[in-house]
């Protein structure tokens, strides 16, 4: 069955991670995506190691299910090709700095004049307005300027370099998809297209959630290891005997009680539920000492049938083999183009009537 977005046609001018991740999600949901790439300026994800069967694994994943067109937008005739293409596509996604598409002669106003129903989404670090709109940046910069980094990590060691690109994906990619789909609904109701301006810094700032609410409305500036969820309580990670890690999230009274009973710390239930920093510090020290007495595998066995919000910190390879993720089809086989399958992360949203699917891993650049 076709995915829920099988009527959408997208021209994708983006590179690297935020835009391609967004259009991958849309392609998985059935949208027809055509990537417009410069053949003389290779997208770094096409060459980024490691490789599988000669194809970058990043490119194979991010650009699965898409078609590609090699087109140097600065060369004569390219503008005309795009102007012709946009007649048959209803969504454009780009990731250039503000004004670049206008200088190329294919900016929003030009394309809208040809296709008034066009939804045009621009993903940038800082948005289309403001003093930073032309400034370069990366995920780590957006997280820093948005305040996210200030209350993550440890008090002594400071903010950590994240293992995933939070501002790029949770900020840029996911908000782009939300914005585009909201604009699609508006177009269905009015017949009008529109410009969707996605700032990864804005989106990262919005991700502060509860910490932002506490600061802006409650006057409490958040710092590392000072709140319930960032290390200021026993809600934390603990090292095991074999130098692995166990996550403990037993915040609610019933879960904290079970945790204390399992670890033979029944006398400390009061400390676990206390909001005093000194009580939390004592309980965390006791937890740390207990958890260091067994290996991760032993703790997994101990908590396997205990509903206490305690889980192992798994590697990606281990997570891929976990029965819960396997039951949810979160690892799939995608055709390399020759009938053999590459293992990839599956689509995370499950539709009853229109399941998501993908056809091929990201393919070589065609149509130069």
- State the catalytic residues: 138, 168
Instruction: Kindly provide the b/e burial profile for residues 335-347, where b requires at least 16 CB atoms within 10 angstroms of the residue's own CB.
Output: ebbeeeebebebb
Provide the 10 A C-beta neighbour count for residue 215.
16
Kindly state the helix (H) or strand (E) to which residue 18 belongs, with its residue range: helix 18-28
Structure tokens at 200: 């990864």
Task: Quickly list DSSP for 321-354.
Answer: T-HHHHHTT-EEEEE-SSS-EEEEE--S---SSS
Residue 200, SS3 per DSSP = helix
Crossing angle between the packed helical segments 18-28 and 174-190, to the nearest 10 degrees? 60
Kindly state the helix (H) or strand (E) to which residue 91 belongs, with its residue range: strand 91-94
Structure tokens at 276: 């005093």
Residue 245, SS3 per DSSP = strand
Taking the chain, what is the end-to-end CA distance rounded to the nearest angstrom?
Answer: 32
Structure tokens at 360: 């091929």
Contact between 240 and 295 under an 8 Å Cβ cutoff? The reply is yes
């Amino acid at each position: 069955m076709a995915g829920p977005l099988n009527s959408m046609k997208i021209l994708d001018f983006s590179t690297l991670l935020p835009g391609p991740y967004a259009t991958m999600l849309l392609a998985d949901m059935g949208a027809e995506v055509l990537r417009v790439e410069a053949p003389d300026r290779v997208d770094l994800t096409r060459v980024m190691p490691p490789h599988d069967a000669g194809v970058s694994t990043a490119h194979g994943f991010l650009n699965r299910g898409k078609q590609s067109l090699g087109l140097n937008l600065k060369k004569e005739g390219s503008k005309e090709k795009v102007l012709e293409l946009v007649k048959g596509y209803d969504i454009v996604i780009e990731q250039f700095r503000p004004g670049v598409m206008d200088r190329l002669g294919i900016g929003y106003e030009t394309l809208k004049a040809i296709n008034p129903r066009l939804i045009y989404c621009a993903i940038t670090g800082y948005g289309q307005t403001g003093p930073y709109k032309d400034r370069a940046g990366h995920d780590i910069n957006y997280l820093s300027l948005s305040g996210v980094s200030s209350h993550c990590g440890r008090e002594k060691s400071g903010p950590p370099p994240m293992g995933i690109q939070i501002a790029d994906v949770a900020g840029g990619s996911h908000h782009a998809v939300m914005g585009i789909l909201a604009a699609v609904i508006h177009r269905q109701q009015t017949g009008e297209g529109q410009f969707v301006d996605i700032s990864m810094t804005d989106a990262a700032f919005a991700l502060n959630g509860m910490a932002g609410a506490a600061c802006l409305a409650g006057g409490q500036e958040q710092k590392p290891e000072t709140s319930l969820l960032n290390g200021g309580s026993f809600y934390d990670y603990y090292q095991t005997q074999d130098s692995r890690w166990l996550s403990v999230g037993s915040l609610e009274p019933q879960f904290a009680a079970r945790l204390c009973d399992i670890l033979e710390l029944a006398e400390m239930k009061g400390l676990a539920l206390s909001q005093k920093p000194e009580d939390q510090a004592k309980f965390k020290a006791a937890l740390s000492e207990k958890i260091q007495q067994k290996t991760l595998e032993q703790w997994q066995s101990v908590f396997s049938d205990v509903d206490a919000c305690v889980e192992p910190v798994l590697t990606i390879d281990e997570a891929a083999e976990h029965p819960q993720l396997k039951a949810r089809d979160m690892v799939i086989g995608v055709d390399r183009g020759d009938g053999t399958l590459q293992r990839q992360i599956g689509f995370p949203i499950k539709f009853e009537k229109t399941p998501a699917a993908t056809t091929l891993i990201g393919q070589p650049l065609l149509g130069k």
